[in-house]
Amino acid sequence: MKYLFYPGCSMQRSAKPYLDSLKLVEKTLGLESVDVEDWNCCGATEFSSVNRTASHAIVGRNLALAQEQASGTDELVAACSACYLNLSKTDHFMREDADFNALVNDALSAGGLEYEPGSVKVRHSLDIIVNNVGYDAVKEKVTKPLSGLRVGAYYGCMIVRPDVNERFSNPEEPYELEDLLEVLGAEVVDFKMKTQCCSGHMTQISSEVAYDMIKQIVKPAVEEEIDVLVTLCPMCQLNIDAFQNEMNKHFGTNYEVPILYFSQLMGLAFGYTEKELGIGKEFVNVSPALAKIGKTTEEVPTPKKKKKSKSDPSLPMPKMPIHYRGGS
């Protein structure tokens, strides 16, 4: 499968390991990704705070470039949640609102560009891997299963919300990442804060508010004995990783929850080295967690659904869909 790839600023810089590992994963899975030539910043969550038209116009430029450069594909893939959201949201609004479409195209015309809404399909890398490559094909490539590693899937916000353009997953209860991690052989924990905000730009605005929000993610992860949180978003990774120590200082706690990109775990399972995957650059040391891989802890027999004894007074639980991991 071939597609255009929009890397975004973070993945050039602080989230370089995400990009590096993703490229390796793409290679293994036979995905042919071509970077959009001369792309510009998507504006993150900041540009639209300053100027609405301009914030969508710069995204419009990226869409227009993608439309021009697309050959043999109409899929534009991003791996950074904010980039993914901004690209799909601008496209969505241009489709939905004719005046807005005219507005953005007016701005684009100043640069000699034009974008026809809907002409590229904005997708997230996880969506491609899960829905186009498929779990079975991923499983075939696993050479070093992640057995023994307790992982918590952490989606954050913008990959699942808002649900414009029929996002590939549920805005509150996504399950694709868990399914993928299970295929890699990891032990997947039902992480209840999986779609909670990492604090976004609050680290730059009010550290107190930010620390509180980071704690809301980290504390339950520690309580669930999660070895490593798995993310899809550079912002989430940065906030949970880089500010964890500050947060600990602020609250007088000593939580230690490393966080890696999903592509890094895929890379590990595919047999790449930690170095190749950019692992080791985190603030929170991930080595103790990764050391558990392959070490089969004593087989804890998964409690077989006990036949309800006659004396058990408890009431039955509601039946849930197959993907559901929660419940007690």
Touching another protein, residues 133-162 (CB under 8 A):
157-158, 161-162
Write each residue from 228 to 267 as x if it is in contact with another protein (CB under 8 A), else as -, in one continuous string. Answer: --------------xx--x--x------------------
For 195, the token pair is 């779609």
Helix (H) or strand (E) holding 104, with range, is: helix 98-109
Q: CA-CA distance, 191 to 200, in Å (whole number)?
A: 19
CB within 8 Å of 62: residues ≥ 6 apart: 6, 36, 39, 40, 42, 87
Interaction between residue 118 and another protein (CB under 8 A): no
What are the angstrom distances between the C-alpha of 27 and each of 1, 24, 280?
A: 11, 5, 22
Number of other residues whose CB lies within 10 A of the CB of residue 163: 12
For residue 10, the minimal CB distance to another protein (Å) is: 7
Exposed/middle/buried for residue 22 (C-beta within 10 Å: 0-12, 13-18, 19+): buried
Shortest CB 269 distance to another protein, Å? 24
- Considering only residues 14 to 33 of the shown chain, the ones binding another protein according to CB under 8 A are 14-17
**Residue 328 contacts another protein per CB under 8 A:** yes
Lookup result for tokens 């390796």: 24
Nearest residue (CB) to another protein, 97 versus 140: 97
Q: Is 100 in the site for another protein (CB under 8 A)?
A: yes
Q: Which of 3, 5, 47, 270 binds another protein (CB under 8 A)?
A: 47
- Closest approach of another protein to the CB of residue 30, in Å: 29
The binder of another protein chosen from 26, 60, 181, 293 (CB under 8 A):
60
What residues between 67 and 86 interact with another protein by CB under 8 A? none
